[in-house]
Structure formats: structure tokens, C-alpha cells
Amino acid sequence: MSKYDPLGQYLESRSDRHIAMSFAEIERIVGSRLPRSKMHRAWWSNNPSNNVMTRQWLSAGYQTEQVDIAGERLVFSRVRARGDAPSRSAPSAPPTDGGQTGGGPARDRLFGCMKGSLSVAEGVDLTRPAEPEWGLCYEDG
């Protein structure tokens, strides 16, 4: 039994799509103070191997969003319906090339920490040099 079980039970009992909470409210629910690491954004990540409390909200079908470290607030957002079994693997990025690349799962051309914040205009070749003339200086010998 984990000291964070009460948080998991609280979240499982809720049907809200979004639950805004303060760190103090979470401390009241679990009956103890959160560790000092609560002031690090990584502590609130949705990585299941992060910490024991993370597994509680993930098992309850929620993930953290809008984490405000300075204001000590966050939002739990429902990612699966109540009663659904938790996923054992992270969701993979949807293929964007129709599986043309082969050799493993297809990924979006832009992924990682900037995913969703950039887009590539139709017809742009990301492999083409921006200034093709830059190499001409080396042809003179």
C-alpha cells in the first residue's frame, strides 16, 4: 500500500474530464506533505517510472497538465474512461508517411519537446539546403 493510494482513490471516484487542484489539496487528500521535489516540473511528468504518486494518477485514468510550479497548482485531465484498463505502453505517434519508410514505427517529422508547436508548409523539402550556393566556395580548390 502506498501513501499516495488516497489520491488514486479520489481520482478514480471522480468522473470529471478536468480536475484543477492545488498542491495543498493533494497534501490534504494523501494526509502528508509532498516532497520538496514537487517544486521540479519533472516530478509532475506523466512518466510511469517517475515516482509512486505518478502511477496513482495514471492508474486512475488521469494525466497532469498545466502544472504551475510557482502557483503550486495543476490540472488532472482524464485520458481514459473509468473502468478501462490502463495502457501498459506509451502511445506511439501516428504514422504520417503511410508506412513508407519501413524499418520500425513511423514518426511524425517533428517530434519530441517541440511536438505540436511547429508545422512544415506543404511541398517544403526539409532535406534540401536552404542556401545551395554555400558549397560553391569549395569547388574552386
- 28-85 residue pLDDT tens: 999 999 999 999 998 999 998 888 899 999 999 999 999 999 999 999 999 976 556 5
Contacts of 15 (CB under 8 A, 6+ apart): 82
Q: Residue 105 — pLDDT band, cuts 50, 70, 90?
A: low
**pLDDT per residue over 111-127, tens digit each?**
555 556 667 788 877 77
Rg (the chain; Cα; Å):
22
Per-residue confidence (pLDDT) for residue 113, from 0 to 100 = 58
Greatest CA separation for the chain: 74
What H or E segment, with its residue span, contains residue 57? helix 52-59
**How far is it, in rounded angstroms, from Cα 15 to Cα 46?**
20
